[in-house]
Amino acid sequence: MQERTALPPQFDRPIMLGGLLAGAVATPLLVVLVALRVVGLISSPEVVFWMAFGVVLAGALGTVMLSNIVHAALALVFTLLGIAAIYLLLGQEFLALAQVLVYGGGVTILIVFGLMLTNATEDPIVSDGAQKPFAFGVGILLALVFAVALLGHHWPAVGPAVISGAEFGERLFGEYTLAILTVGVLLDIALSGALLIARPDSPEESAE
């Protein structure tokens, strides 16, 4: 029986702290949302939306702010899954599914592999560059500009159209056959290229 190795302490505490923090923030919010629903101020989809909203943004902030890269990757997964929920709210079954599969599965795993291969945890944990303050300013300004642009416009008050997976599939492989095939070829080429780039040049190199 193999002896179980304990997690290194630098993994332990932040996770527990993060979990506690998330719970402390999320629980009152959840309570408020449920209360609002019970009172009848917001509808059920809206409750779901605001929950997903919170998860997506919290995950995004975690992705860009956590200093531990593995934690950041974990936060990214939360964001991507939250976005899948948003897709469902927008009535897109298939896209939500694709989001979970491709992002929640494939991309995340790729990234974690990348982290492993580059020994990222061994790097000195200074994960942010010197221009962080500038980046912060730019991000705030950009958010303001977009918010003004998007919300300043008067959008028609209609609901989202629900498109089922079957309908999506029919149209995708009917009208857009050529496009989907082209994307397939593109993916193929891109991944072959990735392989070519990442492959070691010489036996000595691969031996390292």
Partner 1 sequence: MIPIENFLLLSALLFAIGFYGVLARRSAILILMSVELMLAAVSINFIAFAAYMDPEAFTGLIFALFVIAIAAAEVGLALGIVLRVFRERRSSMVDDASSLKW
Partner 2 sequence: MTMEQVWLLPAIPAGVFVILSLFNRVLPRRGDFVAVLGMGTVVVLAVLAIADFQGAFHDGHFAPAPGANTYEFTWVNIGDGVLRIMFSTYFDAITAVMVFVVSFVALMVFLFSIGYMHGEERYGWYFAVLSLFAGAMLLLVTTNSLIFLYLAWEGVGLTSYLLIGFYWERQSAAEAAKKAFITTRVGDVGFLIGIILLWRVAGTFDIQELIHLAEEGAFSETYLTVSMIFLFMGAVGKSAQFPLHVWLPDAMEGPTPVSALIHAATMVVAGVYLVARTLPIFDLVPIAQNFVLYTGLFTAVMAATQGLVANDIKRVLAYSTVSQLGFMFVALGLGSVTAAMFHLLTHAFFKSLLFLGSGSVIHATHQQEVEHLGGLWRKLPITTVTFSIGSLALAGIVPFAGFWSKDEILLEAFELNPFAYAVLAGTAALTALYTTRVVLLTFAGRPRDQHAYDHAHESGPIMLLPLVLLATLALGSGFVAFDGVGRALGFVGGIGQVVTSHGEPHSFAFHPNIAVPATVLALLAIGAGFEYWGGNAIRAERARQWAPELHALLVNRYYMDNLYQAFIDRVVLGLAGIVARFEKSVVNESGVDGGAQTLNWMGFRLKFLQTGRIPNYALGMALGVLVLSIFALGGGE
Q: Which residues bind partner 2 (CB under 8 A)?
A: 129, 131, 134-135, 138, 141-142, 145-146, 148-149, 152
Name the binder of 155 from partner 2, partner 1, none, CB < 5-8 A by kind.
Answer: partner 1
Query: What are the tokens at 111?
Result: 């990234």
Least distance from partner 1 to the Cβ atom of residue 95, Å: 6
Query: SS3 for 67-105, per residue?
Result: CCHHHHHHHHHHHHHHHHHHHHHCCEHHHHHHHHHHHHH
Residue for token digits 């991000």?
139
Q: Is 114 in the site for partner 1 (CB under 8 A)?
A: yes
Torsion of CA 88, 143, 80, 77, to 10 degrees: -150
Q: Which residue, 17 or 183, is less far from partner 1 as judged by CB? A: 183
DSSP string of 4-57, one letter each residue: PPPPPHHHHHHHHHHHHHHHHHHHHHHHHHHHHHHHTSS-HHHHHHHHHHHHHH
Q: Which residue, 143 or 166, is less far from partner 2 as judged by CB? A: 143
Q: Is 14 in the site for partner 1 (CB under 8 A)?
A: no
Least distance from partner 1 to the Cβ atom of residue 57, Å: 6
Q: Is 170 in the site for partner 1 (CB under 8 A)?
A: no
Least distance from partner 1 to the Cβ atom of residue 6, Å: 26
Q: Is 159 in the site for partner 1 (CB under 8 A)?
A: yes
22-81 binders of partner 1 (CB under 8 A)? 43, 45-46, 49, 53, 56-57, 60-61, 63-64, 69, 72-73, 76, 79-80
Nearest to 71 by CA among 21, 27, 139: 21
Separation between Cα atoms, residue 12 and residue 68, nearest integer Å: 12
Q: Could you count the other beta carbons within 10 Å of the beta carbon of residue 84? A: 22
Q: Is 18 in the site for partner 1 (CB under 8 A)?
A: no
Least distance from partner 1 to the Cβ atom of residue 124, Å: 9
